[in-house]
Amino acid sequence: TVDMTGQGYKSFAGNEMDFPLVINTPVKNPFVIPGLKKMQIDPQLNHIYTFENFIEGDCNRVARRAGKTVAEKPGSSSFNPLVLYGGVGLGKTHLGQAIGNETKRLHPNKVVLYVSSEKFINQFQDHGRNNAINDFIHFYQMVDVLIIDDVQFFNRAEKSQDAFFAIFNHLHQSGKQLILTSDKSPKDLEGVQERLLSRFRWGLSADLQTPDYDTRIEILERKMKNDGLDMPKEVVKYLAYNINSNVRELEGALISLLAQSSLNKREIDLDLAKRVLRNFVKTSSKEITIDTIQKMVCEFFDVPYDKLLQKTRKREIVQARQITMYLAKAFTKNSLKTIGEHFGGRDHTTVIHSCQTVKDLMDTDSTFRESVVELQQKVQLAA
């Protein structure tokens, strides 16, 4: 008999082998008896990772929806394997584990296992020292949904790749589901056997990109809601605008801000946020340029940049140009002459006229005023 307790089990040769798995009932030689679906394996999943708290945006929509499909029909979709790739802190591990948790919820009898590539390699090496490689391979071949995190680290372990090749082939041919995460697309992975890379490309490779501004705001708001927190909208916008690297740093900045507020018994405001963010961004303030404002306004009104500089009299272009001049005067140290030169060589009197027109319209047109105020906030957040 084989006694599996979670830390390891006695092999038939009397050797200890390390599996981070919990099997509640002793079984006879589980590696040769087929159909052992009732053994209880700890899937090694963290239950805080769910689809509900994984914020969807343009940056990850394909990956998240593919993950949902895989969880609903593991092994039955064309997304096999599902390869999730992207930089650090963009949600690969979260999404991979969310797939596992959702699969267990929808299919409680499925054997799901999440493991990092490093743990997989360490287990393989332990079993190699105990002459139990076949047992190792056979165990993994009994899994219904296998999630391996950070497969790029397989580049350090040629023999582990051989074992994974055998496991992959068996699972795929048996209609089992594989989910792999990596910091690079399969085509860019180095040191991984070509025969494995070829199989990684059999299914779907979905990338997770840096979240855009709106998604970052939603991430912060969801985090605050879940934790029962509240803070001024302008602070949320400031964090979202300035922490644009990854989700992990964004949440880290939020935690630091909350800690500073609590320890110093101070309400959270924009000034405190700027102080805290000095540890997260290279500079605490940025010089706003005319070019920066031009790009912001063009993006806001969906106006081509070159049109802003031309002499067209189309109303939407003229208003966008006037607002840009108004903001440039308010937020930069440039002279009226310099501002005019940035708009196709217009003179300072045009800038004066534009600024006055914007002020007048803000007094009489509420929709126009709201647009200008929103743009002012965007420029302030960029400072």
pLDDT at 280: 67
Burial class (CB in 10 A: 0-12, 13-18, 19+), 243: buried
The better pLDDT of the pair 164, 8 is held by: 164
245 domain-assigned: yes
Q: Residues 165, 140: one domain?
A: yes
Please say whether the beta carbons of 305 and 295 come within 8 A: yes
In the predicted model, what is the mean pLDDT of residues 160-172? 92
pLDDT in tens, 333-378: 888 999 999 998 898 999 999 999 999 998 898 899 889 988 887 8
Domain count, the chain: 3
Say how many residues make up the chain. Answer: 383
pLDDT in tens, 227-268: 888 888 888 888 888 887 788 888 888 888 888 888 888 888
Q: Which residues of 192-215 are buried (b: 16+ CB within 10 A; e: fewer)?
A: bbeebeebbeebbbbbbebbeeeb
Q: Is the dihedral of CA 263, 266, 267, 270 positive or negative?
A: negative
24 domain-assigned: no
Shortest CA distance to 184 belongs to which of 146, 150, 147, 148? Answer: 150
Task: Say which residues have a Cβ less than 8 Å from residue 383's Cβ, sequence separation at least 6.
Answer: 285, 286, 288, 331
- pLDDT above 70 covers a percentage of the chain that reads 87
pTM: 0.64
Name the DSSP class of 230.
Answer: -
pLDDT at 119: 92
Q: Residues 149, 227: one domain?
A: no
In the predicted model, what is the mean pLDDT of residues 103-107? 95
pLDDT at 311: 82
Q: Residues 179, 195: one domain?
A: yes
pLDDT at 290: 92
Q: How far apart are CA 87 and CA 181, in angstroms?
A: 11
- pLDDT above 90 covers a percentage of the chain that reads 40
In the predicted model, what is the mean pLDDT of residues 196-206? 92
62 domain-assigned: yes
- Structural domain range at position 260: 213-279
Q: In sequence order, what E strands does the chain have? A: 9-10, 16-17, 82-86, 112-116, 145-149, 177-182, 204-208
Q: Residues 309, 374: one domain?
A: yes
pLDDT at 39: 58
Q: Residues 118, 259: one domain?
A: no
Neighbours of 44 (CB within 10 A): 17
pLDDT in tens, 295-337: 999 999 998 988 888 888 889 999 999 999 999 998 888 889 9
Q: How far apart are CA 118 and CA 100, in angstroms?
A: 19
Q: Residues 74, 202: one domain?
A: yes
Q: How far apart are CA 305 and CA 113, in angstroms?
A: 51
Q: How far apart are CA 255 and CA 269, in angstroms?
A: 14
Q: How far apart are CA 200 and CA 81, in angstroms?
A: 6
Mean pLDDT of the chain: 84
Q: Residues 71, 175: one domain?
A: yes
pLDDT at 55: 87
Q: Residues 161, 305: one domain?
A: no
